[in-house]
Copies of this chain bind each other. A is one copy, B any other.
Amino acid sequence: MARAVSETHGEILAAAARRFAVTGYRGTSLQDIAREVGCSKATVLYHFANKEALLAELMAPAITVLTDLDDQLSGLTGAAAQDVAAVGFVDLAVRFRREIAVLRGEFPELLCQPAFAHIQQISERLRDALAGHSDRPGARIAALVLLAGISEACAEFVDIPDDELRPALLTLARRAVEPVGTPQP
């Protein structure tokens, strides 16, 4: 057959995204992906060094956006940080619904891999920002519930258009976040 390299490469990536989103990273074998593409398992491993590299390339765009959001958040505090975190994360979760679904439930194990080492810290900072940098248990619990719930909802509602899902999630987030005192003049 011998297709152009970029073509097969992209097809494998797309097939992996579909399968990972349904059956998870560990629940999907290289054989499954190869079958969906219509090539051999060896071909998958010709285009990608190993299974982890395939996942890493799949996640790269989402991770870039997440890192940008983290940078944006670094200079903010209080209610401003809360709102930027809410808007930013909702937008990210809606746009990268499939990538979010891939990680569903496999976060702890996958984050141990070197390619994703810093994501855990970023998500903790994100949670902290959404809690308004407060250490009240209620605020921290609310932030975690929101982040996890929004992720799950995005992975679940695959058939709802972005423009409907995004405002609904944002409204919910703003209603659910524990208000934090902002220094007002």
> Footprint of B on A, CB under 8 Å?
22-24, 26-27, 104-109, 137-138, 141-142, 144-153, 156-157, 160, 164-165, 168-169, 171-172, 175-176
CA separation between A113 and B26, bound complex, in Å?
A: 18
**Least distance between A85 CB and chain B CB atoms (Å):** 15
Among B26, B150, B156, B168, the residue within 8 A (CB) of A26 is B26
Classify the secondary structure of A's interface with B: helix
Known: A105-B105, A137-B160, A172-B176. A146 touches B149 (CB 8 A): yes
Known: A105-B106, A109-B23, A109-B27. A169 touches B153 (CB 8 A): no
CA separation between A138 and B104, bound complex, in Å?
A: 22
Q: Are B152 and A137 in contact (CB under 8 A)?
A: no
